[in-house]
Amino acid sequence: MKTILIVDDEIQICTLLTKILSKEGYEVDHSVSGTGALKMLKDKTYDAVFCDYRLKDKEIDGSVLSLKIRELSPATGVIVMTGYPDVRIAIQLIKQGIYDYVVKPLSATQVILLAQKVILHQTLSSKEKSIEHTPPAETPVSTLVSPKGQLSQFVYGNSNASRELHVQIKLIAPTDYSVVILGETGTGKESVAHLIHTQSKRKNKPFVAIDCGSLSRELATSELFGHEKGAFTGAIQAKIGAFQEAEGGTLFLDEIGNLSYDVQTTLLRVIQERVVRPVGTTKEIPVDIRIVVASNEDLQQAVLNGRFRDDLYYRLNEFTVNVPSLRQRTEDLPLFVAAFKQLVETELGRSCGDITEEVYQVFCHYAWPGNIRELKNVMRRLYLLSTDNAPVTTAHLPEELQPAQLQSSSFIPGNEADLKNVSRQAEYKKILDVLQQVRFNKSEAARLMNIDRKTLYNKLHTLNILL
Ligand SMILES: Nc1ncnc2c1ncn2[C@@H]1O[C@H](COP(=O)(O)OP(=O)(O)OP(=O)(O)O)[C@@H](O)[C@H]1O
């Protein structure tokens, strides 16, 4: 049984949290003082501690206590609660190694989810440490059947970023936790979701992928939850929604951040109650699915901006997997290039030549804003334009990858003393920094810089930033 310690000088909070968590099957103890908590921590090992930031004993507040817990019991996950949020304190505590810093009052759902998440996190990180020392995968490339039944070469990679990603997948896949997959466009989020499914106990059941970005507000409810015949104009036949289609398996919701607030509310209800109600009916159909979602925008930011429901975010985010960009795994480029060469050879029905060192150099220095998808497309184009078995040179590269273009996009020539040029350089640097910060999402970059998308496009054009 997992053990949790509650530390709060308000006894009512201790009692309430104890009640909520005991009901969920945890063994819960409490202390109304930091000194008392320290004594208990010396006598017993806890999986998690929920601790108030402002404790009455002056010398041991939440910050000191969390530091002492790290020393005494590094495997214990610490959540600091506060009634007075302060970003600086939050940063300091997170740097100290606490798991989360949360604002009171907490709802029962939040408490339960936090407990699940912190304990899962601690378990995974201890397993991760033992896996970290294992040698790299013997087969960094393997054949995978895509959700559409096609065989494709899947590159696991051997870079540190890739190995960390696959350790996370391996650990999270067999659980039934909901997963949020974050990463830039084209990094392989859907492939990761599919991998999680194939390594789970649901692998013999369906994997259903829905692109929420392409669903209109009207269609979303019916696509997800289904509809009855005649439920609305045009509903000439009853339709089974994605939730029912995925019964027993995994439902992957891509670009989840694009769902309207109304649909988010229905989705939350379905996840909580585990039943769907197709449009136009009062019938409730039980569903047993695992939900994996993906986004290329920062969902936490969307929660802060009020565009994404926080309760839904907490429900979905039982674990986060961050998929690295191709820039963060350039070490894996040769593996990707070899796998895509083989793929294109099959697609074209002929053998193709090797790419030259010069082309590799370009690949290593290019930003790959479209990530693995972009590389795959570039490889298709290279081989389509080259003749059988002839080496592929930079002459075959698309315009944006021509060495001259790459160079001109990395600096702005001109007289350094010229004031106009100084401001252009500053603008150039700022735009690139912001773009990198938002993983090359142009709408988000424009919003952060307080300009409209059109202005950003004009600036990218004049500053010769090729994305
Ligand atoms: N590790 C990998 N090995 C081989 N091919 C991969 C790998 N990861 C992704 N791909 C390929 O790259 C392309 C993009 O992958 P995927 O659709 O999973 O990315 P995504 O991050 O979900 O994209 P988007 O942000 O547009 O939803 C696909 O053609 C996929 O097959």
pLDDT of 412: 47
Average pLDDT of span 254-266: 92
Q: Which atom of ligand 1 is nearest to the CA of 146?
A: 31
Residues 217 and 291 in one domain: yes
Please name the residue whose Cα sits nearest to atom 25 of ligand 1: 185
Residues 57 and 198 in one domain: no
DSSP designation for 354: P
Same domain assignment for residues 188 and 115: no
The ligand 1 atom at the shortest distance from the C-alpha of residue 255 is: 27
74 is a domain residue: yes
Looking at residue 171, its pLDDT comes to 82
372 lines ligand 1 (CB under 6 A): yes
Quick check: is 376 in a domain?
no
Q: Say how far apart CA 369 and CA 185 lie, in whole Å.
A: 8
List the beta bridge partners of residue 253: 210, 293
Instruction: Output the CA 371–ligand 1 centroid distance in Å.
Output: 8
54 and 110 in a single domain? The answer is yes
In a domain, 374, yes or no: no
Contact 159, 271 (CB under 8 A): no
Rounded Cα–Cα distance for residues 219 and 153 (Å): 34
CATH number for 216? 3.40.50.300
CATH code: domain of residue 22? 3.40.50.2300
Query: CA quadruple 397, 400, 402, 403: dihedral positive or negative?
Result: negative
Last residue of a domain, one of 126, 156, 189: 126
* CA separation for the pair 82, 30 (Å, rounded): 17
State whether 179 and 247 are in the same domain: yes
Residues 204 and 299 reside in one and the same domain: yes
Structural domain contains residue 338:
no
Which of 128-142, 189-203, 269-283, 418-432 is predicted least confidently?
A: 128-142
Same domain, 14 and 112: yes
Same domain, 222 and 317: yes
- Asked if the structure places residue 437 within a domain, the reply is yes
- Atom in ligand 1 nearest the alpha carbon of residue 157: 1
Among 49-63, 70-84, 128-142, name the one with the lowest average pLDDT: 128-142
Determine the average pLDDT of the residues in 427-453. Answer: 80
Its ipTM equals 0.98
Q: Is 424 in a helix, a strand, or coil?
A: helix
Q: Are residues 208 and 312 in the same domain?
A: yes
Domain boundary among 322, 351, 374: 322
Residue of 191, 195, 211, 299 best suited for mutating to test ligand 1, as the one with most atoms within 8 Å of CB: 191
Query: What's the whole-number mean pLDDT along residues 355-363?
Result: 89
Q: Which of 251, 190, 204 is nearest to 226 (CA)?
A: 251
Cis bond upstream, residue 398 (ω within 30): no
Please state the domain count of the chain. 3
> Is residue 373 in contact with ligand 1, taking CB distance under 6 Å?
yes
Q: How far, in Å, CA of 368 to CA of 356, rounded? A: 19
Q: Are residues 118 and 191 in the same domain?
A: no
Q: Is residue 245 part of a domain?
A: yes
Percent of the chain past pLDDT 90, that is, above it, reads: 32
d(CA 105, CA 361): 54
Indicate which CATH number applies to the domain containing 436: 1.10.10
Q: Are 119 and 182 part of one and the same domain?
A: no
* Whether residue 315 is found in the same domain as residue 211: yes
Is 395 inside any structural domain?
A: no
| Residue 145, pLDDT above cutoff 60 | no
Q: Is residue 349 part of a domain?
A: no
Residue, of 9 and 58, whose pLDDT is higher: 9
- For residues 155-178, average pLDDT: 87
Which residues constitute the domain of residue 83?
3-126
Given 268, 303, 322, the domain boundary residue is 322
Query: Please, how many CA atoms are within 13 Å of residue 43, restricted to the half-sphere of its CB?
Result: 8
pLDDT in tens, 203-253: 999 999 999 988 887 789 999 999 888 777 777 888 899 999 999 999 999
Q: How many CA atoms lie less than 13 Å away from 454 in the CB half-sphere?
A: 0
